Structure 1
Amino acid sequence: MTKQFHFISGLPRSGSTLLAALLRQNPRFHASMSSPLGALVSANLQLMSPGTEVSLLMEEVHKPRLLKGLFDAYYGDNDARVIFDTNRQWCAKLPLLAELFPEAKIIACVRDVSWIMDSLERLIRRHPFQNSRLFGSDADRATVYSRVEALARHDRLVGFPWAALKEAFYGEQAESLLIVDYDLLARAPGKVLPLIYDFIDEPCYDGHDFDHVEFDAPDFDEALGLSGLHRVRPKVAFQPRRTILPPDLFKKFQGMDFWRDLTASKANVITAQRTDE
């Protein structure tokens, strides 16, 4: 059976796990948290690139076959007709995905960066007796200022996917990109999901249950020292709150939501109005 591949990417703490949990309710679909395929693709690209012995033994025609074979092998035992693979790297690899899977669409979950930082800081403070592996040194994890600055670096949890999304948003494959705002997904999943179905050209599924949506990956999260990172609450709902970040730090990351301006992009956007609290 031929599988249709689509991809979930975007920013952390922005609803990608929630979206996957919702999509997985459709028996035709498979979706989950991040898979290892992003890392496997990157590792094989490194091996096949100039400067390695492997590259001298390969023809160009072999490369896409081998990379596509990773997907076929990983999902070979999966009976779902439509596969959504999740990884933060995919937004930085749209030209490659377009070559491997020309019909694929990329769904990127987003959220105001200030609230992403707030959400991560809340998780960190819930575990005061352990050091999260999100930070590589005591200097990085010392204060809320150093923690947030570390996460915002170009190669870290927030900085990298933000830059990758911006690349995809303004790139040649932007038409295959759908931006889904977390606030709107949480407030009105019944309105957002039909738009996603339309974007991926699939018949809408009537069996979605927004009051019984659960997902958890405790072993994975514990290994990061950040329990609850991928836990989804049973009922989809937006929970307004005040930020725990100092006001100057919260304001520093406001205005980074470039996806609200479509004047220079062909991307598709499902977004809600900005909220400050």
Structure 2
Amino acid sequence: MPTTGTAPQRFIAKEVTVRCATLCWASDAWSAIISFFWRSSTPPLTPAMQGYLRGWHHDCQKSVVVDNTRAWLHAIEMLLHIEPEAKLIVCLRDLGQIYGAIEAQHQRTILIDFVDYLADYDRFGRADALFAKDKAIGAPLISLHGVPDLPTHVQERLFFVRFEDLMAQPVACLSLIYKWLGVEPLTINADQLAVGVQESDSHHDMKYTHKQASKITAPKRHEISPRIQTLIETAYAWYYQLYYPQLKKRPVTHRSAATLFDNRQQ
């Protein structure tokens, strides 16, 4: 999810000096590789994919590699098939604040369109579009929605951390993450972080900028329309019950993220 996925990865990479790399899957190239092996009498797909994955990180001398690719949650069972020791850290955030962060960034870069052309929408329409099953918020939600249906041994490879908790108690949250990963504990100085190499902003056509800070500072809460917030909480009550049970009770209605605002005309 935007504005959330890089936080644990950054702290682990910078403070534990675990190498961070993003593995990009080129679908056309990958299809060609699979097609090539499939033509053989005994297609060695598993070792081929294992070789590709491990070859990507062949020069890493650390015991742990952090790969910042949110699509792994959608393909978690495939990932565990080719790399049984893999673990996934999933960073969560209040859905209204995720939308609010995207809207706030749009207002700061209002002359630059989104890669999927949402600039001409009004705020309500933009929120509706962002929660569609193939958009920035909706697509990851589909992966999260399927987590309860995963086998227990797969769910045990997932660690969920709330962005709000990470900002409020970074040392405590990271201690839990280190313990779960099985790496040596390390106490970080939340007020003096190492600043690394600046990430490229070109992937989203400069719409979203990557900034690094030398200390952890919780972002200001984004003010969004009460109507939009209420509709988000109603449509995704399952999300709030699973990951934000401390908030007021909401009726659970598991549903697809394909369309958020069914009551548009009300």
Same fold (TM over 0.5): yes
CA distance in 1, matches of 2:215, 2:14: 14
Percent of residue pairs bearing the same amino acid type:
18
CA distance in 1, matches of 2:177, 2:133: 29
TM-score under structure 2 normalisation? 0.79
Q: Which SS does the other structure have where 2:66 is aligned?
A: strand
Q: Which SS does the other structure have where 2:73 is aligned?
A: helix
Q: Which SS does the other structure have where 1:129 is aligned?
A: coil
CA distance in 1, matches of 2:245, 2:198: 28
User: Residue in 2 aligned with 1:3?
Assistant: none
Specify which of 51, 57, 80 is matched with residue 40 of structure 2: 57
Label 1:107 to 1:70 Cα distance change in 2 as closer, same or farther (>3 A).
Answer: same
CA distance in 1, matches of 2:41, 2:17: 37
CA distance in 2, matches of 1:181, 1:195: 12
One-letter code of the match for 1:167? G
Label 1:104 to 1:170 Cα distance change in 2 as closer, same or farther (>3 A).
Answer: same
CA distance in 1, matches of 2:10, 2:135: 25
Tell me, yes or no, if structure 1 residue 12 matches structure 2 residue 7: no
One-letter code of the match for 1:90? W
Contact 1:28 1:82 in 2 (8 A): no
Contact 1:179 1:259 in 2 (8 A): no
CA drift at 1:198: 1.4
Contact 2:97 2:222 in 1 (8 A): no
User: Residue in 2 aligned with 1:30?
Assistant: 19
Higher strand share: 1
CA drift at 1:215: 5.5
Specify which of 145, 166, 171 is matched with residue 166 of structure 1: 145
Label 1:78 to 1:17 Cα distance change in 2 as closer, same or farther (>3 A).
Answer: same
CA drift at 1:273: 4.4
Taking CA–CA contacts closer than 8 Å with sequence separation of 6 or more, which of the two structures ends up with the larger relative contact order? 1
One-letter code of the match for 2:6? T
1:179-194 equivalences under 5 Å are 179-194=160-175
CA distance in 1, matches of 2:245, 2:18: 26
Contact 1:186 1:237 in 2 (8 A): yes
Contact 1:215 1:231 in 2 (8 A): no
CA distance in 1, matches of 2:173, 2:14: 15
Specify which of 125, 129, 152 is matched with residue 131 of structure 2: 152
Contact 1:109 1:180 in 2 (8 A): yes
Aligned residue pair count? 244
CA distance in 1, matches of 2:112, 2:239: 36
The superposition leaves residues 76-133 of structure 1 with CA deviations (integer Å, 9 ceiling, x where unpaired) of: 2233321011112111111111111212211100111111000011111101222121
User: Residue in 2 aligned with 1:199?
Assistant: 180
CA drift at 1:148: 1.4
Label 1:236 to 1:169 Cα distance change in 2 as closer, same or farther (>3 A).
Answer: farther
CA distance in 2, matches of 1:117, 1:215: 27
Label 1:79 to 1:167 Cα distance change in 2 as closer, same or farther (>3 A).
Answer: same
Q: Which SS does the other structure have where 1:114 is aligned?
A: helix
Specify which of 213, 226, 229 is matched with residue 233 of structure 1: 213
One-letter code of the match for 2:161? V
Q: Any stretches of 5+ residues in structure 2 without a counterpart?
A: 249-266
Q: Any stretches of 5+ residues in structure 1 without a counterpart?
A: 1-10, 263-268
Label 1:87 to 1:102 Cα distance change in 2 as closer, same or farther (>3 A).
Answer: same
Label 1:23 to 1:274 Cα distance change in 2 as closer, same or farther (>3 A).
Answer: farther
> RMSD of aligned C-alpha atoms?
2.8
